[in-house]
Amino acid sequence: MADMLTIGSLASGAYKKAIEVTSHNVANVGTAGYHRQRAEIVSNNPQINGTGFLGGGAQVQTVNRIYADYLQNQLIASNATNQRYDQQFKLSKQVEGIVASNDQGVQQFMQRFYDAMQNLSNDPTTNTNRRLLLDESGNLESHISNLASILKDTQQQTNKQIEDTVTSINQQLDTIYTINKQVERALSSGSQPPNDLLDRREKAIKDLSTYIDIKPYRQKNGRVDIHTANGRLPLISDNTLTKLVAKRSDFPNESRTEVFMNISGESKKISDFIHGGQLGGVLDFRKNMLDKAQNELGVTLNGIVASTNWQHYQGWDLNGNAGDNFFAPLATNAMKNIHNTGAEDGTNIKVSFDPNFASANPQPPYLPPSSQPATYGAKQTDFKNALTEIGHFTAREYELKYRAGTNDFAFYDHQTGQPVLDNTGAQITVVNGAQANVEGLKFDFRNTSALSDGDSFIVKPHQDILQQFKKTLQDPNKIATRGQSPVDTNNNGSLLDEVPAAAAYGDNVNMANMASLASKKLLYSDTAGNPSETLLGGYSKMSVNVGLYVSGTDIQRQAQTNVLQQVTNRIESLSGVNLDEEAANLLKYQQAYQASAQIIQTAQKMFTTMMGALRG
């Protein structure tokens, strides 16, 4: 029976609860991930009597959490993207400053190196000028080696960061997994939603999206499944937890940490599928900026080393000996995949710059006993060919796959996994046991150990030159400033048929030509074989690419920050606590509570009035 007393006491109870909910909101105004709650006050069923329906008062039916799934999903998605670009931006800015700062960068050291050559070519017999050139090459060398060690550190830093992020992801997955279970238990024991537990889970999911891009799938029974890689890879599914693993890539000597996941019992590399969160940011930075910058810088350095050496081979030093190596020539080898079953570990697959290995002429440095080609013309032809091959350098890493059927190696781009194509569009292959020039570099497979079908190897010639870049010429008198002798012994008007011989002591032809390498277009030939960049231009190209990456990332970051702000605003607008609103509610509920109390008092007064009347 809904009499006045019941109505009054129910109402006061209801408003007390409402005030409690209000207080809870006020208390959590600063709690991250909190959604405001509201006491749903409903009127009780009315009773019919003669005069009509008489209301039965009010009570709190449930405590509602003001929350929208779609907004929360948007928040998770935009948070992951935002964190990715934020991470990319921080890391790339750090590298940008090192490899491509406007002042005192590589380009200045290169310029000074070539200026010293000009200086020496003015006055080729002076010892001071010779020493200056060696000093400047030393400066260039030490600047490059600083750069290389910083880039190597950055490489290791990204490895560490990937490991740390994966650890955090796994911890966060544990948390969600545990809350999932608690939510399920809470829901099965009652029909009321465990609001604050749900908030904590949403918070945990959002925190997870800071590290990696995820998609939550909310299940009927209150569980949330978490998938990554655009929904393709399940992390939490049907209460099964699959953790990520950070470990060395399949090429152990590469020292490169990749993200793996156990998919149907097999450990699979998933680094390429992760596009969001801090992890996505680090991976993208490493692939599209760090590796690329190193490879492009490497192409420039390989260009400097090869062109300087080859021009130097053309000349003669003060003692009348042919020019030796100026810089240490590139000499590197391949690294094997741990899944390889053959005996070859990659060290017998050698990569170097040797453009004329097929030529019958003696190859440089033209020092005894191999000595000079028969004629100056033959020597020039080999030299021109070397410059042509320099134009073929391409900034990439090679993956070589052995095919037992054809007994050859197929060339792939290690970064993209795409085949490396020749001019006709066919994939480049080299027969095992042979050697060949591929994109300007000689790949030598002559001394390979036993191989099995499918064995793969990688080689990074353009990254390796960063570590190998070194001046080898020490004696200033050994700088080959003199060119070919201008004497035309048979007076036929051409020097090409002459036996290679040194010009007079004070000749500067070779040094002038070395200095001119700075202005000569040598790198990045088009299909017609015309080089498009000078050596300094090759460096500029790298720094422009670095700049475009950073500025592109910055634009994305700003856009994503705006998106995130907008989503956050919408969530705040819907679910955030407004203290003024709570203050108003507090007043309202307090007044209602006081009024309900008054009802009880009135009922009691009425009762005593009645009692007093009866007493007479």
Partner 1 sequence: MRVSTNQFHNQGIDAIQKHQSDILAIQEKMSTGKRINKPSDDPVGMNQVHNLKKTISQIETYKKNGDYAKSQLGLEETQIQTVIDGVQRARELTIQMMNDSYNPANRKATGAEIGQLIEHIRNVMNSKNPEKELLFAGNNVNVSAAFVDDTVNAPLSNGSRYTAYIGSTNAGANYDQKANYGARFVQIGFDANNQVAPDDKGDPARVRTTDNGAKVFDVPTATSLPAGVDKNVLNVMIQLKDYLDKGQQPPPDIASDFTKALDHMSGVMAEIGGRQNRIQTQKDAGQSFKMSLDERRSKIEEMDVVQGIADFTKKQNALQMAQQIFSKVQKMSLFNYIR
CA 431 from centre of chain: 35
Segment near partner 1 (CB under 8 A); pick from 236-244, 276-284, 337-345, 578-586: 578-586
Residue among 16, 53, 521, 81 nearest 307 (CA): 521
Cα separations in angstroms, 373 against 362, 464, 469, 508: 6, 31, 28, 22
Nearer to partner 1, 165 or 575 (CB): 575
Which member of 121, 195, 307, 560 binds partner 1 (CB under 8 A)?
121
Nearer to partner 1, 282 or 293 (CB): 293
Nearer to partner 1, 385 or 568 (CB): 568
- Least separation, in Å, of the C-beta of 113 and partner 1? 12
d(CA 557, CA 90): 11
Which member of 123, 164, 184, 345 binds partner 1 (CB under 8 A)?
123
The answer to whether the beta carbons of residues 538 and 299 sit under 8 Å apart is yes
Residue 129, class by beta-carbon neighbours within 10 Å (0-12 exposed, 13-18 middle, 19+ buried)? buried
d(CA 367, CA 161): 49
Nearer to partner 1, 127 or 601 (CB): 127
Cα separations in angstroms, 574 against 5, 324, 410: 37, 76, 58
Nearer to partner 1, 310 or 402 (CB): 310
Nearer to partner 1, 246 or 509 (CB): 509
d(CA 135, CA 138): 5
Tell the residue number behind the tokens 């009652």, with chain if given. Answer: 190
Binders in 524-563 for partner 1, by CB under 8 A: 536-537, 539-541, 543-551, 554
Question: By CB under 8 A, how many residues form the interface with partner 1?
Answer: 74
The answer to whether 343 contacts partner 1 (rule: CB under 8 A) is no
Nearer to partner 1, 68 or 404 (CB): 68
State the DSSP code for 231. Answer: T
Nearer to partner 1, 315 or 365 (CB): 315
Which member of 322, 459, 479, 577 binds partner 1 (CB under 8 A)?
577
Segment near partner 1 (CB under 8 A); pick from 212-220, 418-426, 565-573, 599-607: 565-573
Question: Mask 464-503, x = binds partner 1 (CB under 8 A)?
Answer: -------------------xxxxxx------x-------x
The answer to whether 100 contacts partner 1 (rule: CB under 8 A) is yes
The answer to whether 320 contacts partner 1 (rule: CB under 8 A) is no
CA dihedral over 597, 599, 605, 608, signed as positive or negative: negative
Which member of 101, 156, 472, 591 binds partner 1 (CB under 8 A)?
101
**Which tokens go with 123?**
């006055």
Binders in 32-71 for partner 1, by CB under 8 A: 36
Nearer to partner 1, 400 or 503 (CB): 503
The answer to whether 323 contacts partner 1 (rule: CB under 8 A) is no
Which member of 6, 9, 44, 118 binds partner 1 (CB under 8 A)?
118
Binders in 127-186 for partner 1, by CB under 8 A: none
The answer to whether 29 contacts partner 1 (rule: CB under 8 A) is yes
Which member of 407, 573, 591, 609 binds partner 1 (CB under 8 A)?
573
Q: How many residues does the chain have?
A: 616
Nearer to partner 1, 40 or 422 (CB): 40
Residue among 257, 247, 236, 208 nearest 83 (CA): 208
- Least separation, in Å, of the C-beta of 155 and partner 1? 20
Residue 30, class by beta-carbon neighbours within 10 Å (0-12 exposed, 13-18 middle, 19+ buried)? exposed
Which member of 23, 43, 47, 122 binds partner 1 (CB under 8 A)?
122
The answer to whether 576 contacts partner 1 (rule: CB under 8 A) is yes
Segment near partner 1 (CB under 8 A); pick from 56-64, 245-253, 426-434, 576-584: 576-584
Segment near partner 1 (CB under 8 A); pick from 57-65, 322-330, 430-438, 514-522: 514-522
- Least separation, in Å, of the C-beta of 543 and partner 1? 5
The answer to whether 246 contacts partner 1 (rule: CB under 8 A) is no
Nearer to partner 1, 215 or 379 (CB): 379
- Least separation, in Å, of the C-beta of 374 and partner 1? 17
Binders in 421-440 for partner 1, by CB under 8 A: none
Nearer to partner 1, 122 or 601 (CB): 122
At residue 30, the 3 state secondary structure works out as coil
- Least separation, in Å, of the C-beta of 111 and partner 1? 5
Angle at 404 between CA 403 and CA 405, to 5 degrees: 95
369-385 exposure pattern, b = at least 16 Cβ within 10 A, e = fewer = eeebbebbebbbbbbeb
Cα separations in angstroms, 399 against 73, 440, 563, 613: 40, 16, 40, 105
Which member of 512, 597, 600, 603 binds partner 1 (CB under 8 A)?
512
CA atoms lying within 13 Å on the CB side of residue 160: 6
Binders in 80-99 for partner 1, by CB under 8 A: 93, 96-97
Residue among 130, 473, 484, 488 nearest 316 (CA): 484
Q: Which residues make Cβ contacts (< 8 Å) with residue 252, sequence separation at least 6?
A: 335, 338
Which member of 569, 594, 601, 608 binds partner 1 (CB under 8 A)?
569
d(CA 467, CA 307): 18
Cα separations in angstroms, 189 against 223, 238, 413: 15, 20, 57
At residue 376, the 3 state secondary structure works out as helix
Q: Which residues make Cβ contacts (< 8 Å) with residue 395, sequence separation at least 6?
A: 292, 295, 296, 298, 299, 462
Nearer to partner 1, 231 or 547 (CB): 547
State the DSSP code for 271. Answer: G
What is the greatest pairwise CA distance in the chain?
156
Nearer to partner 1, 463 or 484 (CB): 484
Which member of 432, 513, 525, 560 binds partner 1 (CB under 8 A)?
513
The answer to whether the beta carbons of residues 310 and 225 sit under 8 Å apart is no
Nearer to partner 1, 416 or 565 (CB): 565
Segment near partner 1 (CB under 8 A); pick from 221-229, 262-270, 440-448, 568-576: 568-576
In degrees and rounded to multiples of 5, residue 241 shows phi and psi of: -105, 120
- Least separation, in Å, of the C-beta of 118 and partner 1? 5
- Least separation, in Å, of the C-beta of 563 and partner 1? 13
The answer to whether the beta carbons of residues 21 and 61 sit under 8 Å apart is no
